[in-house]
Amino acid sequence: MAQIKVIAFDVYGTILCSDDHENILPPRSGFTEFILHAKDLRIKTVTSSDSDLTNMQLDLAATFNGVAPFGLEIFDGFFRLAMYPKVYQQILRFFGIKDEELLVIGDDYAKDLSQAPLQAHKILVPNYKIVADGFSFSQVVISDL
């Protein structure tokens, strides 16, 4: 099995609460620990949002501010995948990786995962609407993928 080299995160509903227009809620439970662990494993992390990149970066920065021990620098790239469903070839080409070296994480199967490469690892998470939704990124173990 190939080692994961890049994790592509959908943002709204996956990392950030989908209905939190004031950026009051923290990043999704366990996200901080998950991404720091990925970085310890030398895995690149990117966003793969279909949203405007400037506004998305502002929302991420506001949500991380004072809550996470990092800022936007934790991401190795910001990709706007505006097509529906999302196609990940741009990320594969940018990093020069094989399909099986990509992990895609999103909250909408049809939009985020359905057109991810067949050999890519995929994780569908519940849509983040409330803090106590029962999902935590701590449930995802990278070494098991």
Tens digits of residue pLDDT in 36-49: 999 999 999 999 99
The model's pLDDT over 97-134, given as tens digits with 9 standing for 90+, comes to: 999 999 999 999 999 999 999 999 999 999 999 988 88
pTM of the model: 0.94
Range list of β-strands (E), the chain: 6-9, 44-49, 77-80, 102-106, 121-124
Q: Quick one: 6-144 is in which CATH superfamily?
A: HAD superfamily/HAD-like (3.40.50.1000)
Domain boundaries, the chain: 6-144
